[in-house]
Amino acid sequence: MKCPFCSYRDSRVIDSRAVEDGTSIRRRRECPQCGRRFTTYEKYEETPLVVSKKDGRRELFDSKKLLSGLLKAFEKRPVPYEKVQEIADSVERELRMSGENEVVSSKIGELVMHHLEETDQIAYVRFASVYRQFADVNNFMQELERIMHKGNPADQK
């Protein structure tokens, strides 16, 4: 790697450490020409994940947007932030493991709904009411009845 100080075309790695949960490597380097030290980071390049929306638009997957939606669903619920982050990470991991470069937004919504239903029924209903865009109270009640007949996952443990 070229030295940022003297532009010499080589450098020597004197220390390497994994950072960011092992997803990147921090390298401490030294220039043999001027003797100055500098730090570089090496990170794998993820293939972009494109989300195909209902209206035909396409946009890049945004994990912050997913987390934001989950946080709204879990607002004032007794669920730790770490669990919400875990759900967001699981959804993203499942999407990336599918091997698809483009995913329809409904697939993301269904994955989120699955995780929410297993974690917190109130958060599930909140998310479902926005995601499914219930046409009227009857549709909403049908979904509530479906959940009630399934039983509370916490009671089954």
The reported pLDDT for the residue numbered 30 is: 97
pLDDT the model gives residue 41: 92
Of 81, 154, 86, 90, which is closest to residue 122 (Cα–Cα)?
154
Segments of the chain with pLDDT less than 70: 132-136, 151-157
Return the structure tokens found at 82: 């770490």
Question: What pLDDT, on a 0 to 100 scale, did the predictor assign at position 51?
Answer: 96
Question: What pLDDT, on a 0 to 100 scale, did the predictor assign at position 44?
Answer: 79
Domain boundaries, the chain: 12-43, 50-150
**pLDDT at 146 (0 to 100):** 76
User: Which pTM value belongs to this model?
Assistant: 0.64
Tell me the two tokens of residue 95.
């999407």
What pLDDT, on the 0 to 100 scale, is given for residue 43? Answer: 84
- The tens digit of pLDDT for each residue in 23-68 reads 789 999 999 999 999 999 998 777 899 999 989 999 999 999 999 9
Give the pLDDT score at 130: 76
Q: Which pLDDT does position 156 carry in this prediction?
A: 41
What is the predicted pLDDT for the residue at 151? 63
8 Å CB contact between 52 and 104: yes
Q: What is the mean pLDDT of the chain?
A: 88
Which residues are CB-neighbours of 85 under 8 A, at least 6 positions away? 67
